[in-house]
Amino acid sequence: MPEEPKEALSKPGGSEFPQLVVRNRRDSVPMDPLFRGETAEPAKSEGRGTGPGRAAPDRRPPLAPPRPDRDLVERRGPACSGWWALLVVVLALTGAAWLTWSGGLLPVRLTEYLRLPVRTRQGLAARRWAAVGGCGVLALLALGGVSRGRAGSAWVLSLFGRYRGSVRRTGLVWISPLMPRRRVDVRLRHWRSEPMAAVDAHGVELRVVVLVVWQVRDTARALLAVDDHTAYLREQVEAVTARVMSRLPADSFREPADDVPTLRDAEAVGDTLTRALAAECRAVGVEVFSARPTRVEYAPEVAAAMRRRQIAAIDAEHRDSVLTSVLDAVDDTVRRLTERGLVALDDYERKALVKDLTVAFYTARGNAVDTP
């Protein structure tokens, strides 16, 4: 009979553990995944660590959030006060009127109506008309770029498909009319989702409502890095909520319930949800301040069954507390009777007394609790 090798000399995959192989006449079975406790996934047990009351640890590497475009960063765009533009308009119109009158280009009737001295037409009229046209174009450009900046909004400027900057100024602002502009809301906003479908760590269907408080921090990324940043935010809320809710059970029906984290801990779940959503939305220039689950309830098709299970768990906990108090009362009563010498009991009589006292106390406690 050939000798069976106990240990292989090669280390496949760069592992620091040798690969154990059991060979027979026909095939070989690698055994190192079965005995490698550091890399194998822990089996689920009924204990307090990874039982149904506690989610099993996830050893998979976390998914990396999307990376923002380093070149696409909000910067200050070219703009100035709109009052300067109005001053240019006035000066350009005044210059055009003076050139027209001084060159004798105005009609005689209009000159007499305005009570201006009649000027004879001089030569080089074409140049004067060109100067008048230039003043008119300058006035149109100055007047066409005048806009009203509002608090809580900004413009994103572009030219030939290239980002040129953002303008957050308020009041009367002049922006070049040759640059296409898009307005974006930069106020602090909140959004309440519709009931979203999710499952907990046990696969029970849930309906979750999330309240998100957010704000556009980088206008360039919000408008140019994604098609619609509000739609992107809503979709990420749904995806992140489903991922976070699947890590913990909705309720714990086992004892001790205080040591088992559940989805009823709104503060802890909200913090985890906020961090995950903020990491996903940072690439599109959206800053998430908070994402809190306002309602976590079972789906209608499983709500009745889970309610019965919850009532049964509450009833079991109540019965256990009543029984504990009854046993304490019986032990105290028997100990006092024997210590004071009121009765002398052998083992049989002690057992009978304990039984009678337990039934009497438990019946009295049960009637007192059931009575409204």
Rounded Cα distance between 326 and 339, Å, is 20
Q: Can you give the pLDDT at residue 286?
A: 94
Query: 29-38, 119-128, 156-165, 327-336: lowest mean pLDDT where?
Result: 29-38
Q: Can you give the pLDDT at residue 134?
A: 87
The amino acid occupying position 231 is A
- Say whether the peptide bond before residue 256 is cis (omega within 30 degrees of 0): yes
- The pTM for the full model equals 0.61
pLDDT at residue 9 greater than cutoff 90: no
The neighbour count for residue 246, using CB atoms within 10 Å, is 16
Rounded Cα distance between 51 and 347, Å, is 41
Burial 155-190 (b: 16+ CB within 10 A, else e): bbbbeeeebbbbbbbeeebbbbeebebeebebeeee
CA atoms lying within 13 Å on the CB side of residue 174: 16
- The 10s digit of each residue's pLDDT in 276-335 is 999 999 999 999 999 999 988 888 887 677 677 666 666 666 676 777 777 888 788 877
Rounded Cα distance between 196 and 192, Å, is 11
- Which residues touch 163 (CB under 8 Å, ≥6 apart)? 72, 156, 157, 220, 224
- Which whole-number Å values give the CA distances from 70 to 37, 283, 285, in the listed order? 42, 10, 12
